[in-house]
Amino acid sequence: MAYDPKNKFIIDFVVGKRDDETLEQLFKKLKRFRGKVKLVLIDGYQGYEKFITKYLSVKGRKPVTGVINKSRFNHKTGKFYTYGLFGVSGEKVDKVIQELGVGKTISTALIENLNSFLRDSIQYLVRRTKRVARLLTWLKDAIFGYAFFHNYLKPHWKLSERSSKNWIKNGVTPAMNCGIAEVQYSIYEVLTFHQL
């Protein structure tokens, strides 16, 4: 999955095996961002390196890439082993992460949290459904629908004005926050929408 943490938008979501073929499908779709990507955060899967080089680099210049290897745990620091790819140190990656305001250190937790959030919210993924949960056509429609709901209909607690009891007072969606929408849409408005 490719996710824009600043605007809270899903850029792409690929369902498939954890193999080079699935990864290449994703990176082919991301190549339109070649030269615009400032930071890539990945886990320790070996295939990422060649596809970042092939689809995101410009004239041999690759985006700053940080790796968190969850198969190696450092008992001294109490953290998983992290490092930078393509001759960049882990400290340099951490600095870029902090400059972009997406955290303090190399982590894939944001994407994994959203993965979990989607998985728990879509019936086809949690298997609480009588339909065939793993059919890609059903799953694709469900993910697109939920991503639209997540970005346009659902007010986000951190973006919204809150009351003294921390309840959402004036709801703000990610689409409103980045200027794509002026209001929080309702399900009724979406279902009764007529294009001019």
Query: Is there a contact between 173 and 155 (Cβ–Cβ < 8 Å)?
Result: yes
- For the chain, the straight-line distance linking the first and the last C-alpha, in angstroms and rounded, comes to 33
Average pLDDT, the chain: 81
Q: Which of 117, 133, 107 is nearest to 10 (CA)?
A: 117
At 57 the pLDDT is 93
Q: List pLDDT tens digits, range 8-42.
A: 666 666 667 788 998 898 899 888 889 888 899 88
Q: What is the pLDDT of residues 68-121, one digit of tens each?
A: 887 787 788 777 888 999 999 999 999 998 888 777 888 776 666 666 667 777
pLDDT value of position 129: 54
Cα–Cα distance, 97 to 104 (Å, whole number): 6
Residue with more model confidence, 89 or 177: 89
Query: How far apart are the C-alpha atoms of 71 and 43, rounded to whole Å?
Result: 10
pTM here is 0.57
**Is pLDDT at 55 greater than 60 in this prediction?**
yes
Question: 188: which 2 tokens?
Answer: 């009724």
The domain spans of the chain are 2-121, 134-196
Show Cβ contacts of residue 47 under 8 Å, excluding neighbours closer than 6 positions. 19, 20, 23
